[in-house]
Structure 1
């Protein structure tokens, strides 16, 4: 592999900033010093740029296999690295659902050929595949995914005994989508009686309500406490849920952790008027007070990581009426720029962004030698120009679906370079294809 020397970068790492050179050999960070004078195959002048550990996105839906007209592992990993995301963990609600070890391996095989980013895939749980779940290898699979709320195919786990068995016997971290299905169905029936099929998207947060989220999240927390399960609750969307988590236990010792997503930190229910179904997610984007409470929980340590829940659909699917339009949207290319925009607005520090989008994900999932800028660690890095504004438009969107909820937004910060496992994969607006990412390993 080529040796790479990054000169005079402002490194953002482990709660501090400092200027240094970084030498990369054999895919690893070999040296970090104020001044490195040695030959390298490639030298990057990073003066004035900020060097972050590459972001690790613990929740994406790249749609392969079965839904590749919307997205695929190659297309979305390209978008991810253009956005400074160097590793991803992908969800099992593809077609077919990833409910057997053989189907799980199929996804790893596809990624090994086609992914520009490092990768891992969740094993899916259903009401009847506990035997398959228990065969999951803790050393090279990120976790078990449980939908305690509606999902594609056979992935809604709503049998109380099944949930109890999963939480009691899981060999590893369980990541959960928490929304109470009975509450959602009751809310939907209420609005159907009032409005028939002409329900506007503005009622989405009323249908997939805060109460539905809290009922399910609190149930998951109770199950985890009962069985001492390693639980990770995804995409917290309400102020109420933030009180389920503590910030007194060191992260490495926490048994229950939580994630916030970029869209819940950016949009509010007021944005449905202009964005419509483009910001229809499950769980729903809710009130401004919910958004602000989620950010506060991120800042004070009750919420541990920031991710995307990247889940693309075609623009034609999104243009359907509310009841037919699918939930989810593309985000990996714009997540880090969006969080850096919040930094420019004084809402979060650069150190906190590195912590929540890289360090803490690595710690939560016990990822081997990633998520930090340290000697001996894999060189997963994002070099950022904090003052190089650009406008999101169709000409620069890399998602296969071709659209973004951020279209028309001007971000002040731009990704200059992205390195994955020591390879430059994105440089000054251009993708550098040829090298694929690596399968994540876990120190468990």
Structure 2
């Protein structure tokens, strides 16, 4: 299959220019600004896509999703959530291990890869989960095929808390791959929860969530992870940073080690604690959405490159679950279909430039995880391409199995998505084609 994408605005590697791409056999073969090249390339193509007035972007790489399979397929599955992903311009994802059963062994990890090979519409990789007693499984991880090890240093959905100091020392000193951490100090959260119960009984208001999953819990745990990474020169990636203080900790850590990076999620860039009144438990997540000043610190850190990656932590739950009282309502927001449009919306508001959006959502994930030949529009790279109409508004109609989203409408539309050179989304509709591959990682 060969495709010529012509007359679009290419956003790539800090540049924005009018150009065209020729894709053949899943690979980007030519990128040109020269109109004299167009007739020959157009003639060679099986299909021509007119991208006039549109943006041509590398496919988004989401380094943190929870597609709920195995064990909670009523909330979402690899098939349903990867379909939502490509509809949102996300061409690759890395899925978390807090499933049922937890993915804490090489055998269970292999089964997940097998399921994705059958069902996933986007390229994929999976984290293996750390526990207090599976260091031998972690040490068997193949760094060329597995994106990393997930360490829950604070409990969240699924019971995978790693709180044994000796285990943490062993993980940070021995494992051969990237360590991705959920940083919230469990003892602080438990004390805050007990205090809230004492004050409110079982009727804890949602606005108290950032006081229970508090900034102090995040700061203490992030400091612990950084100290361990600096001690052992570990490859640490701190997920969903949510406070200004963590930004400062990350900034200082990166001055000492280039092996420490951080991620911020779309919802922490979009919402603040002022939004709990409107959205209630729909935006309950771990770590909690915090103050507007924290949000501004996160935005600035992303603009400046202190925080490298923007992702989603896509975590679907049914509305019937989310709308229960605070203590019963699960944490998590479905986001993977809407993350790119949300970031483009922030770009329209002047929060980020278009080149910032592409750097944070495409280039940086590829660089942080050393993903082979993805994340950029380059000749010889896989043709993972997203084409956006920035001037055509679209509703936030969710394709998630859970059936809801906190968003309503955007000023842009995801028009086409190519995965390995195959149009899996054409004119904002799934085509029924599937060309996904497992991600591979360089040394």
Q: Common fold, TM-score beyond 0.5? A: yes
Deviation at 1:29, TM superposition (A): 0.2
For the residues of structure 1 that align with 2:65 and 2:95, how far apart are their CA atoms? 5
1:288 is the counterpart of 2:292: yes
5 Å matches for 1:168-179?
A: 168-179=173-184
For the residues of structure 1 that align with 2:188 and 2:238, how far apart are their CA atoms? 19
Deviation at 1:100, TM superposition (A): 0.5
Deviation at 1:250, TM superposition (A): 10
The answer on whether the counterparts of 2:178 and 2:237 sit within 8 Å (CA) in structure 1 is yes
Match of 2:105 in 1: 100
For the residues of structure 2 that align with 1:228 and 1:209, how far apart are their CA atoms? 28
Instruction: Return the TM-score normalized by structure 2.
Output: 0.97
Match of 2:347 in 1: 343
Deviation at 1:330, TM superposition (A): 0.3
Which runs of no fewer than 5 residues in structure 1 stay unpaired?
A: none
Deviation at 1:151, TM superposition (A): 3.2
Of 77, 84, 87, the match for 2:82: 77
Match of 1:426 in 2: 425
Match of 2:398 in 1: 397
1:278 is the counterpart of 2:282: yes
Match of 1:328 in 2: 332
For the residues of structure 1 that align with 2:114 and 2:389, how far apart are their CA atoms? 35
Q: Deviations over 1:275-330 (max 9, x none)?
A: 01100000000111111110000011110000000000001100110100000010
Deviation at 1:248, TM superposition (A): 10
3-state SS in 2 of match to 1:245: helix
5 Å matches for 1:31-42?
A: 31-34=30-33, 35-36=37-38, 37-38=40-41, 39-42=44-47
Deviation at 1:110, TM superposition (A): 0.5
Of 128, 137, 143, the match for 2:133: 128
For the residues of structure 1 that align with 2:388 and 2:82, how far apart are their CA atoms? 19
The answer on whether the counterparts of 2:157 and 2:331 sit within 8 Å (CA) in structure 1 is no
Deviation at 1:152, TM superposition (A): 4.3
Match of 2:267 in 1: 263
Which runs of no fewer than 5 residues in structure 2 stay unpaired?
A: none
Q: Deviations over 1:11-46 (max 9, x none)?
A: 000000111110101100011112332321110001
The answer on whether the counterparts of 1:112 and 1:438 sit within 8 Å (CA) in structure 2 is yes
1:204 is the counterpart of 2:209: yes
RMSD after superposition: 1.4
Deviation at 1:122, TM superposition (A): 0.3
The answer on whether the counterparts of 1:113 and 1:436 sit within 8 Å (CA) in structure 2 is no
The answer on whether the counterparts of 2:229 and 2:235 sit within 8 Å (CA) in structure 1 is yes
Of 229, 248, 254, the match for 2:258: 254
Instruction: Return the TM-score normalized by structure 1.
Output: 0.97
Deviation at 1:391, TM superposition (A): 2.5
For the residues of structure 2 that align with 1:153 and 1:385, how far apart are their CA atoms? 39
For the residues of structure 2 that align with 1:388 and 1:303, how far apart are their CA atoms? 30
For the residues of structure 2 that align with 1:132 and 1:61, how far apart are their CA atoms? 21
Match of 2:163 in 1: 158
Deviation at 1:436, TM superposition (A): 3.6
1:12 is the counterpart of 2:6: no
